[in-house]
Amino acid sequence: QVQLVESGGGFVQAGGSLRLSCAASGSIFSISALGWSRQAPGKQPELVAALSTSGSTNYADSVKGRFTISRDNAKTPVYLQMNNLKPEDTAVYYCRAGTYYSGSFTFSYWGQGTQVTVSS
């Protein structure tokens, strides 16, 4: 099992920035990818950013050029730097953990979530 703990959510005005952090623990030897999903009220979850241990990344079109996923030299923690935030970025953001194989990310684990609210 892998445990994920997020931090860094909050309230920000449109155009502002936030950085989310996610610490993974437990059987982290079994994972080769970390990422972030979000879910806005009444909407399906959306994978917004993913990062493999080999450095491959993937971003949702809605956040490209504004969000950056990164980590330090170790596998964990992973960060999501969110710039130029828009009201439509308002959601609960969840850290994800899983695997990266043959160019595809597969996520199995969820964190507890952290709220991000962007006012207009």
pLDDT tens sequence for the chain (120 residues) = 999 999 999 999 999 999 999 999 999 999 999 999 999 999 999 999 999 999 999 999 999 999 999 998 777 899 999 999 999 999 999 999 999 999 999 999 999 999 999 999
| Separation between Cα atoms, residue 82 and residue 11, nearest integer Å | 13
| Separation between Cα atoms, residue 69 and residue 34, nearest integer Å | 9
Q: Cis ω on the peptide bond leading into residue 77 (within 30° of 0)?
A: yes
| Separation between Cα atoms, residue 87 and residue 91, nearest integer Å | 9
What is the pairing mode between strands 46-52 and 104-110? unpaired
